[in-house]
Structure 1
Amino acid sequence: MFQGASQINLDAKGRLAVPTRVRDPLTQGGTVPVVLTAHPDKCLLVYPAPAWEPVRAQIMAFPSLNPASSPWKRLLVGFAEELSLDGAGRLLVSPELRAFAGIDKRVMFIGQGSYYEIWDLERWQQQLDRLTAGGNPVLPPGMENFSL
């Protein structure tokens, strides 16, 4: 289970130092690649490759000629890249994915259960501000009885 948040920096070559506490679980001790892809909220998703496969299969089952599903396939599968961490535990984020997510230097690495999200720090802060605006966030349908 992936959880927690870390603020990290992208270097000048587009490499992202994956937090140490995340590396082994994410790559199963360095033996498994990861898949990096785009998300419609303008962030990136990082899956262990084996966890990505069932997600990809679901996406690919959408009809290709359906005007509602085709853009999703293009976004989620079209941007997907299989990567391995380098010897220093870094991921090389492609210029295309960096541009899509607006990532320049400072990023947030956010655990989401079976995957991580990578956010531009400023965009992440805007998300949090929207969520907490007014002091009482509105829960989506199905979460009305949720309690912490």
Structure 2
Amino acid sequence: MAFFTSEYECKLDAKGRLVLPAKIKASLPETSGTELVLRRGFEPCLVLYPMVEYKKIYAKVAGLSEFNEEYRNFQRNFFRGNTEVELDNMGRFLIPKLMMKYAQLDKEAIVVGMGNRVEIWSPDLYEEYLIKDQSAFSKMAEKILSEE
């Protein structure tokens, strides 16, 4: 299982390639190697999965009944924003132009380890989605973690 944490400031080159931070790259499961799946996030960011983690989600989404309209709509929107990417020998991968536009990425990105996946954010948008009030964050943690 992958285990990604922390946040990293990264740069994109002129071609739209991002160098995966060394700690993120070191945490990639050996079974996935350099094969990754990049998809549009539910927020305006990109989500990067090692292939082994993506296959778990793929199985759930692909297993939904095609005869249910809501499921079909979800599948359509989920799968349309996915693409396989591969790390080159320098640890870079190319972010497709449509995905860069979706996440409003330009020259800089914030890469955030999210356990089994990695989020890639525009620095400006990332700040908008962070919880600023630590007391509210504490209450959220109490509520969510006590539900288990």
2:136 matched residue in structure 1: 136
2:100 matched residue in structure 1: 98
Q: Within 5 Å, which residues of 2 pair with 1:1-148?
A: 1-26=3-28, 28=30, 31-128=33-130, 131-133=131-133, 136-137=136-137, 139=140, 142-143=143-144, 145=146
Give the drift of 1:69.
3.0
Across the two proteins, how many residue pairs are aligned to each other? 144
Q: Structure 1: which 4+ aligned runs deviate by more than 6 Å?
A: none
* AA in 1 matched with 2:41: H
Give the drift of 1:74.
2.4
Give the drift of 1:71.
3.6
Gaps of 5+ in 1: none
Give the drift of 1:61.
1.9
Gaps of 5+ in 2: none
Q: Structure 1, residues 93-114: CA drift from partner, whole Å, max 9, x if none?
A: 0011111111112111111111
User: Is the 2:4–2:113 contact (alpha carbons within 8 Å) kept by the matching residues of 1?
Assistant: yes
Give the drift of 1:31.
2.7
User: Is the 2:31–2:52 contact (alpha carbons within 8 Å) kept by the matching residues of 1?
Assistant: no
User: Is the 2:40–2:46 contact (alpha carbons within 8 Å) kept by the matching residues of 1?
Assistant: yes
TM-score calculated relative to the size of structure 2: 0.84
TM-score calculated relative to the size of structure 1: 0.84
2:102 is paired with a residue of what secondary structure? helix
Identity across aligned pairs (percent)?
24
The structure-2 alpha-carbon separation of the partners of 1:65 and 1:121, relative to structure 1 and needing over 3 Å to count, comes to: farther
2:80 is paired with a residue of what secondary structure? coil
1:98 is paired with a residue of what secondary structure? helix
The structure-2 alpha-carbon separation of the partners of 1:141 and 1:133, relative to structure 1 and needing over 3 Å to count, comes to: closer
* AA in 2 matched with 1:44: L
Question: 2:86 & 2:73 partners in 1: Cα distance?
Answer: 27
The structure-2 alpha-carbon separation of the partners of 1:64 and 1:76, relative to structure 1 and needing over 3 Å to count, comes to: same
Which has more helix, going by share of residues?
2
1:22 is paired with a residue of what secondary structure? helix
